[in-house]
Structure 1
Amino acid sequence: MTPIEGKNSAGSTEEFCKLEEDLKDSERRYRCLFEGSKDMIFITHKDGSFQDVNQAAVDLLGYVSKKDLMAVGSAEQVYDNTMHWEVFQRQIDREGFVKDFEAKFRKKDGSLLHCLLSGNAVWSKDGDVIGYQGIAKDITARMDAVQNFRQRHRELWVLNSVAFAMNKTHDLDAVLEIALKKALEVLGLAAGAIFLIDHDHTAYVMKKRYGLPADITETTSQIRLHDESLMNALLQKDLVLTPEPIFPPFKAMLKHQKKNFSVELTCFLITAKEKASGFLALDVPPDKDISRGQDFHLLGSLGNFLGGAIENANLLQTIRRHREELKGLTARLFHSQELERKRIAQELHDEAGQALTGINFTLETVEKELSSESAHIRDHIRDIKKQINRTYHEMRRISYRLHPAILSDLGLEPALDAYLTDISKHSGLKVDFKMVGFEDRVDPEVESVLYRISQEALTNTVKHANAGHFKLSIIKSYPQIIFVAEDDGIGFDAGNFSSHKQALGLLSMRERAAMLGGKFILRTSKGKGTRIRIEIPLKERSDD
């Protein structure tokens, strides 16, 4: 060997040693990154059998050691859906890599691990794919958060739909129908019903159903709770429940009373103010569980929400009933008052009027029999006769105000015309009056109400408005009678209506209109006069 050759040989050995050290250093850095990564890294052969895994893979998949994990045999076995492994392989075989492929892995305890999977091919010297290298980032927490968000969104969507229905209508049946359909849609169920508890009849009443056979109705079906003690307890009117966000579900059997049909339902209580109002009864398939998790909480929220809706509907129903009762009592009161006024007016005209006339005739007879020397007695008799005459005219005025005979005999327009003319004459108030569209007389009750409302409106104007002009219009415009009374007086603050001195008269007008199903509209402000508009459904005069 020449000196030059020896020198070259020594240089080659040094370069080889350096390359070997660099390779070992690179291997150490790779192993450090491989083992230190918090993401799952695995290397498999072409057939999917594990060649290597890092410690993060062992920890994330819940295995004891690498040996324990690699004993599984194939990466395919740890995928929740083997289709994901097949797609992973095909994508790398075709493109050489895969990036951010969403996949689920099944941990040793059976729970799922959501991951974003990236990978690339392991190549042979001949350029063939001989294996796969993958890295999976755990996104389970993120996916759970997204799932919770979606579930919360679904829950709010259901509750918002029910709230919208409650704002749109006070019809409880409509609210229950929307709630049932939305709940079934969100839960992915096909059938269910809502039962309310009728404490007065000690029974469960099916108010709404969906997806059940058409012949399953309130009258043809019967529901029985599996728990007899619970079934009896819920029907008790004095049952008091401790408030809870949601009560445990219970089972019930819905049966057709005549046909051989039955279905088991999973039920969730509807409660309000420590009372059970009813329950949601859902047809849940055996492979679906809604007794826990977000579905369970959704049904709890919906049960509480519907409980409030049912409570509000019951209160509104009670208010409507009381209003109808009050309207009926008011109508009877006004009717009795009108009859009493008519009776008193008749007695004043017939009895007291005739008595005063008789007294006047008697005084005239006495006056004729007096001697010429009794001039001072004649003067007294003339004074008495004047007083009797004034009393007679005042009594006729009172009688007319109580109940004008002209109203019964000739109708509303002549009666109002006479009344308004008289008031205008004595008060100096300019009055415009017109009635339009009345070819025939309307019902006596309507005539009486319109007369009294006109009286009240004019009285308020004369006493309180300090007005110079009063206008009254009564228009028959099918399907209603429109009453409009307006003045150019001082007006008042409509927002402080109840404390105003006209309040009693205005309330009387509103009540009289309401007892005929009418609508009362008041428009006024300080310094701008007052306008009253009343719309009364048209009621033709009865032949009776």
Structure 2
Amino acid sequence: MTEKNTPPSRLASLAKNDPNRPLWMIAAVGFGVLLILGSGWAVMVALIGLILSIGGVVWGATRSKLSAQAAQQMEVETQRLRNAQQRAKAIYELSSTLSSTLDYHRVLEASLEIGALGLRELGASETARLISAILLFRKDDNMMHVAAARRLTRVDEKVRLQGRDGILGEALKKAEPVMGKNATQDPELRFFVAFQGTNSVMAVPLRAGFENFGVMVFGSEQANAFSPGSIALLTAIATQATIALQNAVLYQNLLDEKERIVSIEEDARKKLARDLHDGPTQTVAMIATRVDLIQKMLKNKQFPAVFEELQKVGEMATKTTKEIRHMLFTLRPLVLETQGLVAALKELAKKLEDQHPTQFTVEADEQLEVWLETNVQGVLFYVVEEAANNALKHAKARNIWIRLFQQSNDYIIAEIEDDGAGFDVEAVVNANYYQRGSLGMVNMRERAELIDAALHIESTKGKGTKISVLIPVDEETRPMSAQQQDTARATIRRLAPLPSETRFAARLGVQQEEAQQPKKSASTWSDLME
């Protein structure tokens, strides 16, 4: 601590620490004796020597004082560098943890540790008790639970909060750090025993985009413990923690998607095995039995009966061929790849009509295919197929309509409607439906989500069902409007088309003779380019 005025007692204390003090004292005594006993020039010399001796003592004391101040300043600077080093090490460990692990719990624990170190460095009292916690929302109850904490009691770790009131709710709503004073007066923090007696509280939201993961909270017994630097530090730490939470969610979604794909593939294999066992396998076994019977008839020369049995064998073989082709079609409809979605839907309706006493009607505009990307057409085909199979299996429908039409320039709608038994829509969307293991509607909804489409179900018992799929149109695949086409035609008629424009004109339906008008002079094109 710097002193402006040094009292005599302090100066004497500093002078004692001067290593040259005995020499100066001896010189001062000698000059003092000479001053008393001497005369003439000796008095003058003694006086000057005495002054110099006293000056040496004062200079030694001053030097000792400056050395003490420098040592104290060096100690403060060393401590500051040590704290900065610890903070940098902690931040490095947090970054390393973030990049090397998908366990977000480790990142949350490290975030609280770094936050405590940083707050101490930025002025928080070393002796004041510092409490911290990270509260995260859970989807099962939409409440915030303690995910990581420092100095919370066991009772506190079981507290659940809504995150709507107090500084927690304010931080989540504003998406920015919020500070408070007395936690006992906060409508939600007052439920924590550890936060009782805190005089400074800060809540930092863990937010990414429009999604709230939770809140990071720090509390201190020290009043005004959090400075603007503390806000910047905790905000940076919260950002790192949020990234870890995002990575954890994405990784879990990836695992869930992997399990779903494996489950779908397993279900497809089971369905194929079941269909083969119940269909072609049984028919082929019957054909083999009848062939043996025909051989015996030939030995016994029962020719009329042989002819009748051969007809039955031929019918069985034809039926088996259709069943196998239908299975291959459902596994990989080649017509979808070669001729497009509308042709595949018509082929699907024809095959299902051959197997079931149900009338199919397909109402679709082939020109709409250009609006849909190839992967979208594939997903949409499987959604229609699943809906049609559900209508045949569960609804016992006599008529099924498949429609594909345009709604404005932004959406295309696919509809599958039947006149079957219908069902309770609420039973489909609640949890019990998923627990029963019927995955038809679940698969359709998940496939629709893959192409950013919306699935809508309308059904009434005894009055049939209508399933609608609303597909957004990609801007890149969207055809030109009628007004845009008219403008383009007028431009092409006015200007001589280049080779690329000739193709563009053909796409718009312009007559070939109109598209091949005489070219204008080079000066005209130069003027146009200018």
TM-score (structure 1 length as normaliser): 0.39
For the pair shown, which has the larger CA radius of gyration, 1 or 2? Answer: 1
Higher strand share: 1
Q: Name the TM-score, length of structure 2 as normaliser.
A: 0.40
Greater helix content: 2
